[in-house]
Structure 1
Amino acid sequence: MVDSNANGHVNSAVRLRPLLALSMLLPFSISGAHANSTEENSPKVRQSRMLEEVVVTAQKRAENNQDVPISVTAFSDETLDALGISDPQDLQRVTPGLTYNTAVGFSIIYMRGIGSDAFLMADPSVALYIDGVYFPFAQGLAQNFGAVERIEVLKGPQGTLFGRNAVGGAINIHSKNPSHEPEASVQLSYGNYGTKSIRVHGSYPLSDAIAVSLSAFKSGSEPYYDGYVDGGKAISDDESDGVRAKFRWQLTDDLAFNLAGFTYNSSGPGSLLTPNTEPGQAFSTFLEGEDGYTAEFDAPVDQTLDNEVYYASVEWDLSPFSVKLLASTQFIETSYSYDYDGTSSSLVTFEARDQHADVDTAELQILSNESSWGSDWLSWILGAYYFESTQGFDPTSLQMADLDLSGGTVAGIPLPPLFVDAINSAGVLPTGYMALRALVGTESIAAFFQGTVDVTDWFTFTVGGRYQEEFREVIKSSSEFENPNGEAAYIVNYSDGRNETTYSFKPKVSFDFRPFADREFLLYLSYQEALKSATYNVVTLYDEPDYVLPEELKAYEIGVKSEWLDGQLRLNVAAFQYEQENQQVQFVSALQGGAVSFENAGGSEVDGFDFDATLQVFPSLVNDLIMTVSGAYLNGQFTDYTGARGYNEDTGLVFEGGEEGDYSGNVIPRTPEWSATLGLNKSFFFERSVIEIGADVYYNSGFYYLPQNTDASYQDEYHVVSARISYLYEPWNLRLTGFGNNLEDKKYTDGLFQTDFGVLSHLAKPVTYGLKVNWEL
Structure 2
Amino acid sequence: MMAGVVTAAAAQDTDLDELLGPTESAPTSQSAPAEAPAAADAAPAAATAEPAANAEAPVAVTAEAAPTEAVTTKPKRKSALLEEIVVTAQKREESLSEVPISIQAFSPDALAARGIDNQIGLSRAVPSLNVGSQAGYATIFLRGIGTEAFLTADPSIASYVDGVYFPFSPTFVSDFSGVERVEVLKGPQGTLFGRNAVGGAISVTSIAPSFEDRRTDIDLTVGNFGLVKPRVYANFPITSTFAANFSSYYAVSDSYLDSDSRTDGKPLRKQYDEGVRVRTRWQPFEQFEFLTGFTRTRNQNNGAIGQNINPSPLGRLLGIQPPDDPDNIQVNTRLYGRSETSLISTQANFYAPWLDIKVLASKQKDSLLYNYDFDGSTKPLVSFDVPGHPANIKQAELQLISNESQPYAKWLDVTGGVFLFHNIQGFNPVQLEVGDIVTPPEVQDLVDALLPDGLPGATVAGQLLAPGRAYRVQAEAQIKTISAGYYLQTTMRFTDWVALTLGARYQREDRGLHKSTVNLLVGTTDIGNQILNGPPISFQNARDGAGNIIPGRSVTTGFEPKVTLDFHPFLDETLLFASYQTAKKAHAYNAFAVYLPPQYIKPEDTTAYEVGLRTPLFDGLVQFNLAAFYYRIKNQQTQYVSLLSGGALAFENAPRSESKGIDFDLVTSILPDLIDGLGLSLNGAFIDAKFLRYPNAAGYDPRTGLFRANNDFTGNRQTRTPKFSGTVAVTKLWQLGDRNEVEAGADYYYNSGFYYSASNDPNYEQTKYGQLGAFTRYKYVPWNVDVRLYGKNLLDKFYTQGVISTDFGGVFSIAAPREFGAVLSWKF
Report what 1:30 is aligned to: 33
- In the alignment, structure 1 segments of 5+ residues that lack a partner are 6-11, 16-21
Report what 2:792 is aligned to: 741
SS in 1 for 2:295: strand
| Cα pair 2:731 2:746 within 8 Å, conserved | yes
| Cα pair 1:109 1:116 within 8 Å, conserved | yes
Report what 2:268 is aligned to: 235
Change (3 A) 1:312 1:221: same
> What is the identity percentage for the equivalent residue pairs of Structure 1 and Structure 2?
36
| Cα pair 1:713 1:753 within 8 Å, conserved | no
Change (3 A) 1:486 1:84: closer
Measure, in 2, the Cα distance between the counterparts of 1:356 and 1:605.
34
| Cα pair 2:600 2:651 within 8 Å, conserved | no
Measure, in 2, the Cα distance between the counterparts of 1:579 and 1:471.
25
1:732 is the counterpart of 2:783: yes
SS in 2 for 1:123: coil
> For residues 660-681 of structure 1, what are the alpha-carbon distances to aligned partners after superposition, in whole Å with 9 as ceiling and x for unaligned?
x111100000110111100000
SS in 2 for 1:139: helix
Report what 1:275 is aligned to: 307
| Cα pair 1:229 1:299 within 8 Å, conserved | no
| Cα pair 1:28 1:315 within 8 Å, conserved | no
SS in 2 for 1:432: strand
Q: Which amino acid aligns with 2:497?
A: W
2:185 to 131, 134, 154: 154
Measure, in 2, the Cα distance between the counterparts of 1:38 and 1:602.
49
Q: Residues 62-73 of structure 1: matches in 2 within 5 Å? A: 62-73=93-104
1:355 is the counterpart of 2:389: yes
Measure, in 2, the Cα distance between the counterparts of 1:421 and 1:234.
40
Measure, in 2, the Cα distance between the counterparts of 1:388 and 1:62.
28
Q: Which amino acid aligns with 2:562?
A: K
Q: How many Å apart are 1:758 and its aligned residue?
A: 0.8
| Cα pair 1:724 1:738 within 8 Å, conserved | yes
Change (3 A) 1:29 1:87: farther
| Cα pair 2:6 2:86 within 8 Å, conserved | no
Q: Which amino acid aligns with 1:222?
A: D
| Cα pair 1:695 1:722 within 8 Å, conserved | yes
Measure, in 1, the Cα distance between the counterparts of 2:538 and 2:699.
27
Change (3 A) 1:409 1:164: farther
2:401 to 367, 381, 403: 367
1:177 is the counterpart of 2:177: no
Report what 1:49 is aligned to: 80
1:690 is the counterpart of 2:721: no
SS in 2 for 1:592: coil
| Cα pair 1:492 1:541 within 8 Å, conserved | no
SS in 1 for 2:595: coil
Measure, in 1, the Cα distance between the counterparts of 2:822 and 2:242.
37
1:493 is the counterpart of 2:538: yes
Report what 1:193 is aligned to: 225
476-485 vs 230-239, greater mean Cα deviation = 476-485
Q: Which amino acid aligns with 2:553?
A: N
1:598 is the counterpart of 2:651: yes
Q: How many Å apart are 1:545 and its aligned residue?
A: 1.4
Report what 1:58 is aligned to: 89
1:584 is the counterpart of 2:618: no
Report what 1:125 is aligned to: 156
1:642 is the counterpart of 2:695: yes
Report what 1:669 is aligned to: 719
1:112 is the counterpart of 2:143: yes
| Cα pair 1:403 1:411 within 8 Å, conserved | no
Measure, in 2, the Cα distance between the counterparts of 1:14 and 1:229.
59
> For residues 342-395 of structure 1, what are the alpha-carbon distances to aligned partners after superposition, in whole Å with 9 as ceiling and x for unaligned?
000100000001110000010000010122131111011010000000001111
Q: How many Å apart are 1:193 and its aligned residue?
A: 0.8
| Cα pair 1:644 1:662 within 8 Å, conserved | yes
| Cα pair 1:401 1:410 within 8 Å, conserved | no
| Cα pair 1:282 1:651 within 8 Å, conserved | no
Q: How many Å apart are 1:632 and its aligned residue?
A: 0.4
Report what 2:812 is aligned to: 761
Q: How many Å apart are 1:707 and its aligned residue?
A: 0.5
Change (3 A) 1:411 1:362: farther
Q: Residues 499-648 of structure 1: matches in 2 within 5 Å? A: 499-517=553-571, 519-648=572-701
Measure, in 2, the Cα distance between the counterparts of 1:212 and 1:697.
39
Report what 1:211 is aligned to: 243
SS in 1 for 2:386: strand
1:223 is the counterpart of 2:255: yes
Q: Which amino acid aligns with 2:810?
A: V
Q: How many Å apart are 1:753 and its aligned residue?
A: 2.5
Measure, in 2, the Cα distance between the counterparts of 1:164 and 1:758.
35
Change (3 A) 1:179 1:643: same
Measure, in 2, the Cα distance between the counterparts of 1:455 and 1:231.
69
Q: How many Å apart are 1:27 and its aligned residue?
A: 5.3
Measure, in 2, the Cα distance between the counterparts of 1:611 and 1:439.
41
Q: Which amino acid aligns with 2:182?
A: I
SS in 1 for 2:626: strand
Q: How many Å apart are 1:594 and its aligned residue?
A: 3.5
Q: How many Å apart are 1:403 and its aligned residue?
A: 5.8
Change (3 A) 1:254 1:757: same
Q: Which amino acid aligns with 1:488?
A: N
> For residues 708-740 of structure 1, what are the alpha-carbon distances to aligned partners after superposition, in whole Å with 9 as ceiling and x for unaligned?
001111111111000000001111111100000
Change (3 A) 1:26 1:341: farther
Q: How many Å apart are 1:477 and its aligned residue?
A: 1.3
RMSD: 2.8
Q: How many Å apart are 1:532 and its aligned residue?
A: 1.2
Q: How many Å apart are 1:625 and its aligned residue?
A: 0.6
Change (3 A) 1:36 1:643: closer
Q: Which amino acid aligns with 1:326?
A: L
Q: Residues 5-20 of structure 1: matches in 2 within 5 Å? A: none
> For residues 290-311 of structure 1, what are the alpha-carbon distances to aligned partners after superposition, in whole Å with 9 as ceiling and x for unaligned?
2321111111211111100111
Report what 2:56 is aligned to: none
TM-score scaled by structure 2?
0.87
SS in 2 for 1:341: coil
1:325 is the counterpart of 2:327: no
TM-score scaled by structure 1?
0.92
Report what 1:458 is aligned to: 497
Measure, in 1, the Cα distance between the counterparts of 2:326 and 2:6.
54
Change (3 A) 1:43 1:504: farther
| Cα pair 2:307 2:326 within 8 Å, conserved | no
| Cα pair 2:38 2:180 within 8 Å, conserved | no
Q: Does 1 or 2 have the higher relative contact order (CA < 8 Å, sep 6+)?
A: 2
Report what 1:770 is aligned to: 821
| Cα pair 1:218 1:242 within 8 Å, conserved | yes
Change (3 A) 1:29 1:171: farther
| Cα pair 1:476 1:495 within 8 Å, conserved | no
Measure, in 1, the Cα distance between the counterparts of 2:596 and 2:442.
17
Q: How many Å apart are 1:140 and its aligned residue?
A: 2.0
Q: Residues 366-405 of structure 1: matches in 2 within 5 Å? A: 366-402=400-436
SS in 1 for 2:292: strand
Measure, in 2, the Cα distance between the counterparts of 1:32 and 1:714.
50
Measure, in 1, the Cα distance between the counterparts of 2:804 and 2:422.
30
Q: What is the count of residue pairs matched by the alignment?
A: 751
- In the alignment, structure 2 segments of 5+ residues that lack a partner are 8-14, 20-25, 43-72, 524-529, 542-550
| Cα pair 2:291 2:347 within 8 Å, conserved | yes
525-534 vs 561-570, greater mean Cα deviation = 561-570
Measure, in 1, the Cα distance between the counterparts of 2:280 and 2:74.
29
> For residues 45-104 of structure 1, what are the alpha-carbon distances to aligned partners after superposition, in whole Å with 9 as ceiling and x for unaligned?
622222121111000011111111000000111221122211111112221111111111
Measure, in 1, the Cα distance between the counterparts of 2:395 and 2:39.
34
